[in-house]
Structure 1
Amino acid sequence: MMHAPSRTAKIAGIAALAGLMMAVAIVAATHHRAPTAPPAAIVRDEAGPSRLARELERCASLTMPDSGCEAAWAENRRRFFRQGEPEGAGR
């Protein structure tokens, strides 16, 4: 027949758990993280945004369907997925 753990065993278990938690907290507080690289800057052309970029910016503010916007989004998707280019182009 098993007996319940004694009061001393319970105190020892809780002390061990508290010590482990304290050790983890100290390691986390003193751990030096490597500095992260700053995000890459977006460089725009000197001449300003392209026609497609201007059209997409305009379309982003519209709430009604627009055929010009649909064409601009289709062109953007085509350029993004490089559809219609020869296999070696752009690489």
Structure 2
Amino acid sequence: MSRTAKIAGIAALAGMMMAVAIVAVTRPDEPAPAPALALPAEESQHRLARELDRCATLTMPDSGCEAAWAANRRRFFRQDDVAPAVEHDGGASPSEEGFVP
């Protein structure tokens, strides 16, 4: 590398450092945002949490648990509006119902 290229590289680095310093000095000091408060969950989220707790103790596959895990994944990835609600027969037990958060 030539001496001129080295000088140009150091000048460019110094210019970037100077720009960062100027931005840091001129930027107004803002207080850190307060942490998000835990808001009370809706009843459907409580039902989903209870169902997931129940499913965590099971060793056999359960259709209600599969629906609960799918609802939890949709809620986690914020895909609530993508998956349509599944309709069940009137005689379905709570563990067979699909949970929508």
TM-score norm. by structure 2 comes to: 0.40
User: Rg bigger for which structure?
Assistant: 1
Q: Pick 1 or 2: higher relative contact order, CA cutoff 8 A, min separation 6.
A: 2
Question: Given the two structures, how large is their TM-score scaled by the length of structure 1?
Answer: 0.42
